[in-house]
């Protein structure tokens, strides 16, 4: 049996919801090989995590976990490949290493701290 659900709703309320949806969908222009296309983005696309340019001077956690040990101090100069800290994730100890020769500017974690994914653990700067 088919029932029209709009019969049981207030018509003014129904139109108001439609107006809100059209306000949230904004027309965008996409350019592909010099051709312009007009499109609308849905709510899921508008609420996505926006890409940001990676900052190589920040060492982020690639998986949520617990800081087991911090092997460096602020101001310390390290060579590429030296261990910085140990992150426990999924019952495994992950050795986080220095990506290039540099100086430790700031340590944003403490031993025993639980951190989420993409958390900035350390801030570093290159040294020659």
* pLDDT tens column, 67-93: 999 999 999 999 999 999 999 999 999
Domains within the chain, CATH numbers bracketed: 9-46 (no CATH), 58-126 (2.40.50.100)
CA dist., res. 122 & res. 97, Å (int): 11
| Contact of 96 with 81, CB cutoff 8 Å | no
CA dist., res. 4 & res. 24, Å (int): 26
Query: Per-residue pLDDT tens for 39-57?
Result: 887 888 878 888 889 999 9
- With b for 16 or more beta-carbon neighbours within 10 A and e for fewer, the 52-86 pattern comes to eeeeeebbebeeebebeebebeeeeebeeeeebbb
Higher pLDDT, 37 or 25: 37
Residue 13 has pLDDT above 50, yes or no: no
Mean pLDDT for the chain overall: 84
- pLDDT above 90 covers a percentage of the chain that reads 58
CA dist., res. 124 & res. 99, Å (int): 10
Residue 121 has pLDDT above 90, yes or no: yes
Q: 57 CB contacts (<8 Å, ≥6 apart)?
A: 105, 123, 124, 125, 126
Give the global pTM. 0.64
């Amino acid at each position: 049996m088919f029932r029209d659900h709009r019969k049981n709703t207030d018509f003014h309320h129904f139109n108001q919801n439609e107006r809100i949806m059209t306000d949230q969908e904004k027309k965008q222009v996409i350019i592909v090989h010099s051709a312009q296309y007009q499109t609308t983005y849905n709510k899921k696309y508008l609420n996505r995590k926006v890409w940001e340019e990676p900052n190589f001077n920040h060492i982020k956690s690639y998986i949520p976990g617990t800081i087991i040990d911090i092997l460096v101090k602020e101001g310390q100069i390290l060579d590429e490949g030296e261990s910085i800290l140990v992150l426990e994730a999924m019952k495994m100890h992950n050795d986080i290493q220095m990506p290039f020769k540099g100086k430790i500017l700031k340590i944003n974690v403490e031993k025993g701290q639980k951190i989420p994914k993409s958390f900035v653990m350390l801030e570093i700067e290159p040294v020659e």
